[in-house]
Structure 1
Amino acid sequence: MMGWRGRIGFLVPPGNPTVEPEMMQLTPAGVSLHFTRMVAHGNTGAHEGQEERNRAQIAHLDENAALLAMVKPGVMVMAHTATSYTLGKDGEATLIDRMQREHRIPFITAFGSVVAALAHLGVRRVAYATPYNEQVTALGKAHLEAHGLQVVAHGILPGVKNIYDETPERAYQLARQTDCADAQAVFLSGVGMPTIAVLDKLEQDLGKPVISSAAAMMWNALRTIGVCEPLQHGSCLLTGIAPTGTQEIKS
């Protein structure tokens, strides 16, 4: 049987080429992944029109989640961080509750997974790095602060034409440039910009946890379905190995 240890379902923005391959890189044996595209229109991945696309995804989420639920996953993941910024704290909580009541399946978000991951690591002060424009970045900063986190530094990737054209190398540079001494961890927001390939290198170089939306949502999805084995890569969150100079990661 496919997914004999558990099945994870992802709701992915249209045009996003990153979520499937990155999640496949992190998948333990016996876990199966299943993907449904959300509905949005326009130039996906571009800064222009991002808020409108977020709202379109929210408007169509019921029908997309109903399709994904047919696979009977052990958890459904809304794999888009910025949609949570559009929803706000209360709107996100309401959406999660409604999805879970309707489908009787645990429902998590990429952003909610980041909040859970930072709490798991004991992080309160974060350097926040994004590939977004200033408006969406500000919404994300406010959303982090609404959850009691202190954003001690934030940075925006310069020269972005389309988030889906970005590279792990650019994500690495963004994290390095955004980090500061007061930050207990660096958070790379978004699942469109590839991050998984550079998280371990960043932690080695910075000596602190570096959490991306992608790593956090896989970690949260795995623990939701009860698969808790350490992985070989994908940041201390998934390997359980603390970066040099930091305390041991909580189990």
Structure 2
Amino acid sequence: MKPERWNDPTKKIIPHQVGFTAPPHDFDAAPHDFLRIAPEGVGAHGRLIHAGEYAHQLSQRVDNFHKLEEVVHCMSNAGADVVGQVGTNWSHAGGKTPADIRGFCDRMEDTYQVPLHMAGMSLVEALHSIGAKSIAVNGGYFWPDWREGTTRFLADGGFDIHYSGNFVDHGLMATQDEVNEATWIFPGDFAMRSFEYVAKQAPDADALVIIGMPNFRRADGLPLRPVSILREIEEAIGKPIIASDCALYWNIFRTLGVAPQGDLPHILNTLQGDKT
């Protein structure tokens, strides 16, 4: 149960406190990217799930899924107002469905008085919020079994899948081993090139989805801002683009009751519409 003292806003260091959890052995960019678009008065804290041996296998996500509850418990004790789970592929691990994840998140909130939003479930909710019925999936760096599982999860969420493929399928890299060796970091031009490919494969899809947001780099090696990339691609392609991380941020902002600011992709702009 959440400590009673956190109900007193004068005891909180930051008015709106957000906790993030990420997979083991992975320094995730999500808290940093989130704070770049968060309004004043929102703070973030991250906590990695601990696993001594970890190779990003889906079976390991199943074995460690219970540790998500440990993170929510810790964040509740520390006074977090909401927790966001980064890593879309955790939602579908072990064959879980959106109904399974909704039930798990509801139980976390009932037990610890802190809402939990998982990236995969947020993607389903965000797509429903814009009325999408059919989608095309940009798997980015996702391994084939990650991509297939997440695509199945989205289909279970009620969407007609017109296409699903990753950087290897797009012809941007030769093998999955080459993709894995990049450690989630890719040239900035991969973003536009991959989405252009996906859009051509599914011209009738209502929206394009990227299920694992890569860390795209500028020519000088510094990170590109994900929100700026997505907005530029949306304008070029002419279709809504929903990224799993951005869908998660959207859910967090909705829970906090605050509006984001700055250069935002489509799904965060829907939040501003909700508040008018």
Question: Fold conserved (TM > 0.5)?
Answer: yes
How do 1:17-28 residues align onto structure 2 when only pairs under 5 Å count?
17-28=28-39
What is the TM-score of this pair, normalised by structure 1? 0.85
Counterpart-to-counterpart distance in 2, 1:91 and 1:75: 20
Q: Report the Cα offset of residue 197 of structure 1.
A: 3.8
Q: Distance in 2 between matches of 1:125 and 1:235?
A: 19
1:223 to partner: Cα distance: 0.5
User: 1:33 and 1:219 mapped to 2: Cα distance?
Assistant: 15
| Residue equivalent to 2:105 | 96
Match of 2:210 among 169, 174, 188: 188
Match of 2:155 in 1: 145
2:48 maps to which of 12, 31, 37 = 37
SS at match of 1:122: coil
Q: Which amino acid aligns with 1:226?
A: G
Letter in 2 for 1:85: H
Q: Which residue in 2 is equivalent to 1:222?
A: 253
Match of 1:175 among 195, 215, 218: 195
Give the superposition deviation at 1:213. 0.8
Superposed displacement of residue 23, structure 1: 1.4
Q: CA deviation at 1:58?
A: 0.6
Equivalence for 1:246 = none
Does residue 109 of the first structure (1) align with residue 118 of the second (2)?
A: yes
Which residue number corresponds to residue 263 of structure 2?
A: 233
Unaligned runs of 5+ in 2: 1-11, 174-178, 217-225
Distance 2:60 2:37 in 1: 28
Counting matched residue pairs gives 239
What percent of counterpart residues are identical? 21
SS at match of 2:205: coil
SS at match of 1:108: strand
8 Å contact from structure 1 (residues 10, 76) kept in 2: yes
- Superposition deviation, residue 17 in structure 1: 3.3
Structure 1, unpaired ranges of 5+: 242-248
Structure with larger Rg: 2
Match of 1:210 in 2: 241
Change (3 A) 1:42 1:157: farther
In structure 2, distance between residues paired with 1:154 and 1:32: 35
How far the C-alpha of 1:193 sits from its partner, in A, is 4.2
